[in-house]
């Protein structure tokens, strides 16, 4: 079912629906022409929802468009897409890891945002050094290393002006004790990072290994400037398609 729905999402984005990751952590188309279907063949019905447990449809559309654009540009090397939806509160699982080739959900987990991005919900984002905020846009998951937070993953921000300072800011994915249901029960929200997308420690190694060495990480929030100007959401266009 998910494979069929993904195909529909890809088709919808490819015909031009308005397509509309963080300060150092731990201080340390081919464009296709639309051809009208024969009148005797009914167009497929619109997709109203994705299977339970998946991101919201609009976020999935945007993430798929950015992922495929990154692949066409040769900047994303693997068929693995991680989606972080920072429009959701920190108490909800808002990170998904999807095997796009198999159409299979690998992980759905809690994820932290930057200390200065907001309390329970992130509302402010920055690409600046020492901001301790999360950053939006498409990233590539790169090499792993062992550091202050244990097994960690470096990421390259691919969007100039939005997340391209990520490596200099030491924005990495790592496990953290403050990303847990127990922390939520005590504090009413997750703990916050210095901008890194920290994940629960008991799944961090698995998540990192699933996306490392070329997977895509798509960090979403309905920020108008980013939606209008992202080259991955407006792939192959000269104008701004997001409204």
pLDDT attached to residue 176: 98
Whose tokens are 């402010």? That residue is: 124
Q: What residue ranges do the domains of the chain occupy?
A: 2-31+43-229
pTM for this predicted structure: 0.81
DSSP secondary structure letter of residue 116? G
Per-block mean pLDDT, blocks of 10 residues, the chain (243 long): 47 37 43 40 47 91 98 97 98 98 97 98 97 98 97 98 97 98 98 98 98 98 97 72 36
Q: Give the model's pLDDT for residue 239.
A: 36
Residue 67: name the closest of 81, 46, 54, 53 by CA. 81
**Topology of domain 2-31+43-229, CATH:** L,D-transpeptidase catalytic domain-like (2.40.440)
User: How would you write 182-195 as a 3-class SS string?
Assistant: HHHHHHCCCCCECC
pLDDT for 140 equals 98
**Tokens found for residue 80:** 């693995």
- Report the pLDDT value the prediction gives residue 236, as an integer from 0 to 100: 73
Looking at residue 16, what is its pLDDT?
36
3 state DSSP class of 197: coil
């Amino acid at each position: 079912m998910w494979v069929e729905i993904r195909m529909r999402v890809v088709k919808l984005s490819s015909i031009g629906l308005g397509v509309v990751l963080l300060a150092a952590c731990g201080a340390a188309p081919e464009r296709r022409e639309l051809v009208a279907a024969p009148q005797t063949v009914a167009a497929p019905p619109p997709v109203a929802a994705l299977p339970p447990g998946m991101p919201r449809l609009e976020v999935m559309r945007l993430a798929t468009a950015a992922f495929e654009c990154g692949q066409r540009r040769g900047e994303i090397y693997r068929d693995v897409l991680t989606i972080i939806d920072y429009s959701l509160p920190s108490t909800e699982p808002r990170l998904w890891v999807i095997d796009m080739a198999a159409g299979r959900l690998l992980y759905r987990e809690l994820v932290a945002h930057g200390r200065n991005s907001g309390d329970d919900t992130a509302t402010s984002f920055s690409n600046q050094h020492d901001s301790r905020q999360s950053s939006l846009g498409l990233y590539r998951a790169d090499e792993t290393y062992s550091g202050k937070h244990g097994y960690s993953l470096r990421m390259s921000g691919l969007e100039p002006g939005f997340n391209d300072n990520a490596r200099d800011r030491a924005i990495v994915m790592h496990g953290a004790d403050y990303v847990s249901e127990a922390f939520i029960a005590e504090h009413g929200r997750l703990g916050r990072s210095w901008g890194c997308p920290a994940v629960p420690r008991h799944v961090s190694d698995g998540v990192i290994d699933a996306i490392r060495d070329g997977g895509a990480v798509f960090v979403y929030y309905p920020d108008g400037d980013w939606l209008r100007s992202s080259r991955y959401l407006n792939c192959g266009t000269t104008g701004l398609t997001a409204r």
